[in-house]
Structure 1
């Protein structure tokens, strides 16, 4: 049996943390290993507890969630899911650039919270269509658009035909298993193609791959 996904809850409201703990603690394969009330404490707890997934609030005292996410990612202390209300686009984009693996509405349904933890814990990107559209709109707007398009075309030329197919399916949000089924290949083969895509395109993770695919016009 696989080890349970270790989750760290970070929010300055104890009631919110308690609610998330109640939802996640009863789920098989998920273990809430700790809580933190701000970004500074989150970093300390993550170093001690080595969580797989960190549910991270944004607005907190001392160290906010954006800065804490960057620190956690820099030290490879777990994958971060940002808890957002979507009322501040600057938070969303800053979190993406800081290395967040996904974004989740704070008022989401319990099953969405569980699914998010499992998805990110298994290495998948967690970008809803609404989030993706807003990220793409921000990243493709303004000066430098033509230069970015030219650079993206040059990067895409480095991919094999199969790797390009995999990138398109990543852009659709498919998991490795779903991509394997779509292309009728083994999941291990898909993992290799995904790794090659990330390396050749100089992307940090699947979230950036999703964004790149959309920005390059490979995914609708």
Structure 2
């Protein structure tokens, strides 16, 4: 499936049946034990991604690509950054805007847009947590390279190419997914790096129950 079709599926999923699930997962609302492990893993990955950026971001313009319900955008704004928080789901953006503390609102601009759109402009840094996990290696590398022309640093996460995730990926391709979540595409730094013009660094893998993701950093 090409980038446009995948993006459309992701948009439909997160702006449809997944909205409330995502709102609960990214809050203090009670969740199942399985989702609690995912919540813990996502919290840890958010911390890892943010640790790659300076504590003082005063004057920096930062793109939160696939901001979801806005936790990273809020922390970036607390550090002094001017944040462009982008998501293709208007419903998730509504939640993010409502959750953002009043004191930070002048530093965050929410917009429903493709996270790779050149119209967003240039940035001092880009962060993307689990928003690039649905795209194939060729599409992902092409868009990351284009993004690197507009930022010196992109910190993002991917689903790693573990035996379990690869087995789930190939099994999932055998079944129709009309009403199911988009398929995660596992990646490895070793496979992505030769496709990119910048330097790719593997930062950390986070595993928490049913959550597993690898943080990578691309330097232009």
**TM-score, scaled to structure 2:** 0.32
Higher helix share: 1
Higher strand share: 2
